[in-house]
Amino acid sequence: MTTTRNRQERDSSTANNRDRYEPSSIEKKWQERWEREAVHKTHDDVPGKDNWYALVMFPYPSGDVHIGHWYQYAGADSHARFKRMQGYNVLHPMGFDSFGLPAENAAIASNIHPRIYTETNIDNMRRQFRSMGTSYDWDRELTTHTPDYYRWNQYLFLRLYEAGLAYQSRGFANWCEGCQTTVANEQVLDGACERCETPIARREMDQWFFKITEYADELLQMEHIDWPNKIKVMQTNWIGRSQGVDFQFDISEYGLSESSLTTFTTRIDTVYGVTFVVLAPEHPLVEQLTRPEQREAVSEYIAKAARTSEIERTSTEREKTGVPTGAYATNPLNGDRVPILVGDYVLATYGTGAVMGVPAHDERDLIFARKYDLPIRVVIAPDGWDGSDLTEAYLTPGTQVNSAEFDGLPNSEGLEKIADKIEAENIGNRRVTYRMRDWQFSRQRYWGTPIPIIHCESCGTVPVPVTDLPVQLPDEAEFKPTGRSPLADDPDFINTSCPECGAPARRETDTMDTFVDSSWYHLRFASPQEAEAPFEPSAVKSWLPVHQYMGGAEHAVMHLLYARFFTKVLRDLKMIDFGEPYSRLFNQGLLVKDHQKISKRSNPLAPDPLVERYGADTIRCYLMFLGPWDQGGDWSDDGLAGITRWLNRVWELATRDASGLSSTGGEQAERELIRAAHKTTRRAVQDLERFKFNTAIAALMELSSEMNRRWEGGSVSAGTWSDVIDRLLLLTAPLAPHIAEELWERRGHSFSIHNQSLPGWDDELAADEVITVVVQINGKVRERLELAADVTEEEAFEAAFASDRVKAYTDDAEIVRRIYVPGKLVNLVVR
RNA sequence: GGGGGAGUGGCGAAAUGGCAGACGCGCAUGCCUUAGGAGCAUGUGCCGCAAGGCGUGCCGGUUCGAAUCCGGCCUCCCCCA
């Protein structure tokens, strides 16, 4: 009776002076105060704290922050906040990857200067990031389109150029006739321009490259970095290391400058089965080898191939085509004279641009041979082969046949012995090739970092002296695409003098791929205002490599590979002393809405109105509650109510006046609430560490409900209640930073909750006193027993046998086996 | 075609060798309310009145015991062709 009356009094007395949870008012208030009091200001070193660099991939300022950004940045921010409350000195910076094609295209489309367009977007995005309650130190913000940043792109380019790792060479680029410009590989979608859908052609142009292939083998070494296996596999496939043999066919009969034609193969064991040779249309010998009677057909074919994208050319769906050159090549191993054809499924950039055709042992070659009526010769025989024709290409291991002295060997052995012979006779050699090519980073675009090179008639290619940096991107230049680099039309920009001889000279007019900017930005964040160098060595030493990198998997083989390459180069240039930029990587999944891709047009979900209506904390928590962060989530407005209710409950629990509580439930009730609190702490901390935000929130919800029940019972002391409330708020703080801060203040604690340590837990206090032991008969659950936590095996079996339900199964049966899993179950195998 | 990931209630999902469905949405019933798109309580995998049986894409295997491990197949998503 007393308890009931007390409770009613408490409720009515507190109802009046308690106010409701109104996210809009408290969120703005705390965002301003955090900024005013520099709560997220990061110092390079804090005595007694270890540094933790939590980096999330910085965004393109291509428009509004959309809900997918929220999904990424809210999760990353929660994890960074969690590490901060774990006691680390955390660097969690933000910037903008603000050069590049998307911004430039959007700017052109709306007839605004790319700089104005970009800076307007950045202002808007900065505002939105603030509205999320992110914990960035804005003093460290960097934007890559400013000279303060891109001058260091130019500086690093010069260092790579000096080291022979940047070079200019003629190469094929993706040319879009519609946009009158080249586009990057990643902007080619199914052979067409992603913007105007014009088919992409290949055009030969002077291009700049970074020698990433020099680091191919080291880039394959990934055992020592803690990255998702998925990404490691993608990088390995992308690099595509293959071991093979360069093999020379004799073409001396034509009396050309070259007496041999080199092909590359990974299957030299099939060399006795070669019945034709195929050259890429761009192969340098095509012109000279083509016989007069084939000249017209070959020229026509080459012209057609030039209009076809590489992706299309190598597609397995597409029919393999080719034309004979009329010339023949002689296989030096057996003297066979085989026709030379031109085929566009062979790429000039892979291997040697020439392949040997072995129709019996390669699917593509077989289709090609059948189509053009070329001979098919089996040289690797399956077990029990009767000498008849094969119906399909034989690709698996077998025995060498029709292979001269190698007949009878398993082909794995033939592979080595034939390679030995080729090397001994000097008609070829073993070689490792990679699918990955050097990184073509020059763009005929305006909105990027000018490449700091000067072309002089007498001195050739001359690097701009470091003291002359930055080479400024002219603001006034014409930026619309005209078919060549926009900067080429700006006389003030191109006309200069040669740094070596002083004669009039022309500047390089290409700009850099934006992936150059993002290859080292993590270093810049360590000392973003450094004016004398790209980064300050001691700051880099305190912060790098990045402890935890977070971002989407779409960058697996672009940014993430380039950044690793840059890191290795800078290490070799002795600018840094580590070889991997990101020690740990976590990829968040994709957010969809109602099972469909979120799109501005067909399935929109703008964050600002949601924040206005529900509050940033609610949106953050809901996004994190949808499912495991790495698996992505499925947004549906309906589910928001659950998070709203929970945060309201936290508010309501934390604002109750607990002074009237008395420990009527005794020690038992106290212990049970303390146990729930310690269990929750353990679960939440362990889950947050592993990015399992969804189950961390579930644990906090359970604790909230448990507290509500305990209050109804009126059974715990005010002191215990208060401790558990504080625990709940501290654990909620990384996820819902505003409400936690507000309630922390209302409970009389000092500012800020985000400078507090997470609560610890005691496994003994978290341990159950009573456990449920499951009794299985032949693996099926037949009984559940409530037993003391410290029950012995003997006691557990005794309890099991005492149960009537168990007896029903054991009475007429023989027990052949008994299994005991401490604290969990008893299994009786009966017959 | 190759590689990777996933498949569990009406829905988002838990459980990674030991009680399948935690937590949340939705739904149902009741309470409270001038009102309810608010709050509270209880229930909610399927079949069955019940006892009980069935149940984690499908088929098989390993195990005392499988959503979880192994083999084969189907479907969906991502990356590369």
Q: Which of A159-173, A320-334, A371-385 has the lowest mean pLDDT?
A: A371-385
Taking residue A810's Cβ as centre, other Cβ atoms within 10 Å add up to 16
Token duo for residue A171: 């190469």
Percent of chain A with pLDDT over 90: 42
Strands A585-587 and A548-551, by their bridges, are parallel
Distance CA A314, CA A322 (A): 13
Number of residues written out for chain A: 831
Distance CA A77, CA A599 (A): 24
Name the nt closest to A310 by C-alpha to C1'. B81
What integer pLDDT is reported at residue A7 of this predicted model? 35
Name the nt closest to A556 by C-alpha to C1'. B79
DSSP for A556-579 reads TTTHHHHHHHHHHHHHHTTS-S-S
Closest to A169 (Cα-Cα) out of A214, A211, A212, A200: A211
Give the model's confidence band at A775: pLDDT under 50 very low, under 70 low, under 90 confident, else very high: confident
Beta strands in A630-788 (DSSP E): 633-635, 770-777, 780-788
Q: Which of A26-35, A156-165, A224-233 has the lowest mean pLDDT?
A: A224-233
Spacing of C-alpha A241 from chain mean position: 21
Give the model's confidence band at A312: pLDDT under 50 very low, under 70 low, under 90 confident, else very high: low
Name the nt closest to A347 by C-alpha to C1'. B81
* Residue A817 near residue A794 (C-beta atoms within 8 A): no
What integer pLDDT is reported at residue A15 of this predicted model? 39
**Is the four-CA dihedral A543, A753, A82, A648 of positive or negative sign?**
negative
A732-CA/B45-C1' distance, Å: 32
The 10s digit of each residue's pLDDT in A655-685 is 888 877 777 767 788 888 899 999 999 999 9
Phi, psi of A278 (to 5 degrees): -115, 130
* Mean pLDDT confidence for A617-629: 92
Q: Helices A114-131 and A607-614: crossing angle, nearest 10°? A: 20
Q: What is the pTM of this model?
A: 0.86
Distance CA A764, CA A766 (A): 5
Query: Which segments of A163-264 does DSSP mark as H helices, in order?
Result: 216-219, 229-239
3-state secondary structure of A780: strand
Closest to A510 (Cα-Cα) out of A440, A438, A465, A449: A449
Name the nt closest to A557 by C-alpha to C1'. B79
Taking residue A430's Cβ as centre, other Cβ atoms within 10 Å add up to 14
Token duo for residue A790: 């410290």
Name the nt closest to A558 by C-alpha to C1'. B79
Token duo for residue A298: 């070959």
DSSP for A88-126 reads -EEE---EE---SHHHHHHHHHTT--HHHHHHHHHHHHH
Protein residue closest to B22, using CA and C1' = A698
Nucleotides in chain B near protein beta carbons (<7 Å) = 1-6, 11-15, 18-20, 22-26, 38-41, 52, 64-66, 78-81
Q: What is the mean pLDDT of chain A?
A: 86
A774-CA/B20-C1' distance, Å: 14
Give the model's confidence band at A713: pLDDT under 50 very low, under 70 low, under 90 confident, else very high: low
Taking residue A702's Cβ as centre, other Cβ atoms within 10 Å add up to 14
What integer pLDDT is reported at residue A779 of this predicted model? 81
Does residue A184 carry a pLDDT above 70?
no
A785-CA/B55-C1' distance, Å: 24
Taking residue A823's Cβ as centre, other Cβ atoms within 10 Å add up to 15
A230-CA/B19-C1' distance, Å: 34
A56-CA/B46-C1' distance, Å: 45
Does residue A9 carry a pLDDT above 70?
no
Task: Mention every residue, 6+ apart, whose C-beta is less than 8 A from residue A115.
Answer: A145, A475
What integer pLDDT is reported at residue A829 of this predicted model? 85
A539-CA/B58-C1' distance, Å: 58
Name the nt closest to A630 by C-alpha to C1'. B5
What integer pLDDT is reported at residue A399 of this predicted model? 85
A722-CA/B30-C1' distance, Å: 33
Taking the C-alpha atoms of A316, A321, A327 and A328 in order, what is their torsion angle to the nearest 10 degrees?
40
A224-CA/B4-C1' distance, Å: 21
Name the nt closest to A699 by C-alpha to C1'. B23
What integer pLDDT is reported at residue A329 of this predicted model? 92
A6-CA/B25-C1' distance, Å: 35
What integer pLDDT is reported at residue A317 of this predicted model? 54
Half-sphere exposure of A353 (CA within 13 A, CB side): 11
* Residue A13 near residue A657 (C-beta atoms within 8 A): yes
Give the model's confidence band at A2: pLDDT under 50 very low, under 70 low, under 90 confident, else very high: very low
What integer pLDDT is reported at residue A10 of this predicted model? 35
Name the nt closest to A314 by C-alpha to C1'. B81
A204 vs A430, residue with greater confidence: A430
Taking residue A43's Cβ as centre, other Cβ atoms within 10 Å add up to 11
What integer pLDDT is reported at residue A62 of this predicted model? 76
Give the model's confidence band at A190: pLDDT under 50 very low, under 70 low, under 90 confident, else very high: low
Protein residue closest to B39, using CA and C1' = A645
* Residue A241 near residue A218 (C-beta atoms within 8 A): no
A557-CA/B81-C1' distance, Å: 15
What integer pLDDT is reported at residue A662 of this predicted model? 74
A497-CA/B61-C1' distance, Å: 78
Taking residue A690's Cβ as centre, other Cβ atoms within 10 Å add up to 14
* Residue A423 near residue A429 (C-beta atoms within 8 A): yes
A634-CA/B63-C1' distance, Å: 37
Protein residue closest to B65, using CA and C1' = A779
Q: Which of A13-17, A112-116, A191-195, A543-547 has the lowest mean pLDDT?
A: A13-17
Give the model's confidence band at A13: pLDDT under 50 very low, under 70 low, under 90 confident, else very high: very low
A349 vs A782, residue with greater confidence: A782
**Is the four-CA dihedral A147, A152, A153, A157 of positive or negative sign?**
positive
Protein residue closest to B66, using CA and C1' = A779
Name the nt closest to A771 by C-alpha to C1'. B19
Name the nt closest to A622 by C-alpha to C1'. B24
What integer pLDDT is reported at residue A469 of this predicted model? 86
Closest to A499 (Cα-Cα) out of A446, A550, A453: A453
Token duo for residue A407: 């007949």
Q: Which of A2-6, A204-208, A358-362, A763-767 has the lowest mean pLDDT?
A: A2-6
Strands A322-330 and A337-343, by their bridges, are antiparallel
Q: Helices A616-625 and A737-746: crossing angle, nearest 10°? A: 120
Tell me the C-alpha to C-alpha distance, in Å, between residue A396 and each of A31, A362, A392: 65, 11, 12
A413-CA/B69-C1' distance, Å: 36
3-state secondary structure of A342: strand
Protein residue closest to B23, using CA and C1' = A698
* Mean pLDDT confidence for A347-367: 83
* Residue A74 near residue A605 (C-beta atoms within 8 A): no
What integer pLDDT is reported at residue A12 of this predicted model? 35
What integer pLDDT is reported at residue A17 of this predicted model? 43
A444-CA/B21-C1' distance, Å: 57
**In one letter, which amino acid is A698?**
A
The 10s digit of each residue's pLDDT in A508-541 is 999 998 899 999 999 999 999 999 999 999 999 9
Q: Helices A640-655 and A693-713: crossing angle, nearest 10°? A: 40
* Mean pLDDT confidence for A274-300: 89
Distance CA A265, CA A431 (A): 9
Top-confidence range, A238-252, A358-372, A792-806: A238-252
Largest CA distance in chain A: 113
Name the nt closest to A644 by C-alpha to C1'. B24
A796-CA/B8-C1' distance, Å: 32
Spacing of C-alpha A405 from chain mean position: 51
What integer pLDDT is reported at residue A189 of this predicted model? 64
Which strands sit side by side in the sheet containing A89-91, from one edge to the other? A89-91, A51-56, A548-551, A585-587
